[in-house]
């Protein structure tokens, strides 16, 4: 699905930027251009970043021993 029509960035493109370390919409814009022009996609960028952070937190919780939870 297209996230940013200005540069043609897809959810896959943005997710790849986030996986490589982009953690803000400005960092995503610097990495792939999404969100750098008109800004209408920034809310969606932030949602993708948040979803990635939630998945990462879930993975970390699964890796912790039961006694330390």
Torsion sign over Cα 32, 38, 41, 46: positive
Question: Cβ atoms within 10 A of the Cβ of 15, count?
Answer: 17
Total-model pTM: 0.83
**CATH top-level class of 2-64:** mainly alpha
| pLDDT of res. 60 | 78
Residue-range domain boundaries for the chain: 2-64
Cβ(34)–Cβ(41) below 8 Å: yes
Tokens encoding 9? 């960035």
- Give the tens place of pLDDT for each residue, 24-68: 999 999 999 999 999 999 999 999 999 999 988 887 777 777 655
């Amino acid at each position: 699905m297209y996230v940013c029509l200005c540069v043609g960035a897809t959810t896959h493109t943005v997710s790849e930027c986030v996986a490589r370390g982009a953690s803000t919409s400005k960092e995503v814009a610097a990495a792939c251009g999404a969100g750098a022009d008109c800004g209408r996609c920034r809310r969606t960028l932030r949602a993708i970043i948040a979803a990635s952070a939630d998945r990462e937190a879930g993975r970390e919780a699964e890796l912790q021993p039961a006694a330390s939870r």
